[in-house]
Amino acid sequence: MKTEQIARERFMRLANGFRASSVILTAVEMGFFHQLAHHPQDARELSANLGIVERGAVRVLRVLTAFGLVVYDGRLYRIHDDYLPLLSPEGEAYLGDICQHNYRLMKRWINLDETLRTGRPPKRGPRDSADLQSFILGMENISRRAAHDLKDGIGVPRPKTILDLGSGPGTYSSAYLQQYDDVHVTLLDRPEVNQIARVILEAYDDRITCIDGDMFEVDFGGPYDLIMLNNIIHSWGDDHNRELVTKTARSLTPGGRLAIKDFFTHTDRHGPEHATLFGINMFLANEHAGVYSYEDAIAWGDAAGLQFERRFMVDSTSGALVLRKGEI
Ligand SMILES: C[S@@+](CC[C@H](N)C(=O)[O-])C[C@H]1O[C@@H](n2cnc3c(N)ncnc32)[C@H](O)[C@@H]1O
Q: Is 190 in the pocket of ligand 1 (CB under 6 A)?
A: yes
Give pTM, 2 decimals: 0.96
Mutate to test the pocket of ligand 1, among 235, 260, 281, 314 (most ligand atoms within 8 A of CB): 235
pLDDT at 126: 79
Atom number of ligand 1 nearest to Cα 228: 6
Atom number of ligand 1 nearest to Cα 232: 10
- Mean pLDDT, the chain, rounded, equals 97
Question: How long a stretch of residues is the chain?
Answer: 328
Distance 297 CA to ligand 1 centre (A): 18
Distance 11 CA to ligand 1 centre (A): 35
Q: Which residues of the chain have pLDDT under 70?
A: 328
For CATH 3.40.50.150, list the domain ranges present in the chain. 145-325
Q: Which residue, among 68, 82, 73, has the nearest Cα to 40 in the 3D structure?
A: 73
Which is it for strands 252-262 and 208-212: parallel, antiparallel or unpaired? unpaired
Atom number of ligand 1 nearest to Cα 168: 27
Q: Is 193 in the pocket of ligand 1 (CB under 6 A)?
A: yes
Please tell me the distance from the alpha carbon of residue 255 to that of residue 86, in angstroms, as a whole number: 40
Atom number of ligand 1 nearest to Cα 261: 8
pLDDT at 125: 79
Q: Is 139 in the pocket of ligand 1 (CB under 6 A)?
A: yes
pLDDT at 328: 64
Q: Is 40 in the pocket of ligand 1 (CB under 6 A)?
A: no
Question: How many other C-beta atoms can be found within 10 angstroms of the C-beta atom of residue 270?
Answer: 9
Atom number of ligand 1 nearest to Cα 169: 9
Q: Does domain 145-325 have CATH number 3.40.50.150?
A: yes
Please tell me the distance from the alpha carbon of residue 91 to that of residue 111, in angstroms, as a whole number: 34
The third-level CATH classification (topology) of the domain covering 3-118 is Arc Repressor Mutant, subunit A (1.10.10)
Whole-angstrom CA distances from 36 to 39, 92, 137 are 5, 17, 22
Please tell me the distance from the alpha carbon of residue 137 to that of residue 143, in angstroms, as a whole number: 10
Mutate to test the pocket of ligand 1, among 139, 141, 192, 288 (most ligand atoms within 8 A of CB): 139
Do the Cβ atoms of 162 and 257 come closer than 8 Å?
no
For CATH 1.10.10.10, list the domain ranges present in the chain. 3-118
Q: Is 171 in the pocket of ligand 1 (CB under 6 A)?
A: yes
Q: Is 215 in the pocket of ligand 1 (CB under 6 A)?
A: yes
pLDDT at 327: 83
The 3-state secondary structure of the chain, one letter per residue: CCHHHHHHHHHHHHHCHHHHHHHHHHHHHHCHHHHHHHCCECHHHHHHHHCCCHHHHHHHHHHHHHCCCEEECCCCEEECHHHHHHHCCCCCCCCHHHHHHHHHHHHHHCCHHHHHHHCCCCCCCCCCHHHHHHHHHHHHHHHHHHHHHHHHHHCCCCCCEEEEECCCCCHHHHHHHHHCCCCEEEEEECHHHHHHHHHHCHHHHHHEEEEECCCCCCCCCCCEEEEEEECCHHHCCHHHHHHHHHHHHHCEEEEEEEEEEECCECCCCCCCHHHHHHHHHHHCCCCCCCCCEHHHHHHHHHHCCEEEEEEEECCCCCEEEEEEECCC
pLDDT at 127: 81
Q: Is 189 in the pocket of ligand 1 (CB under 6 A)?
A: yes
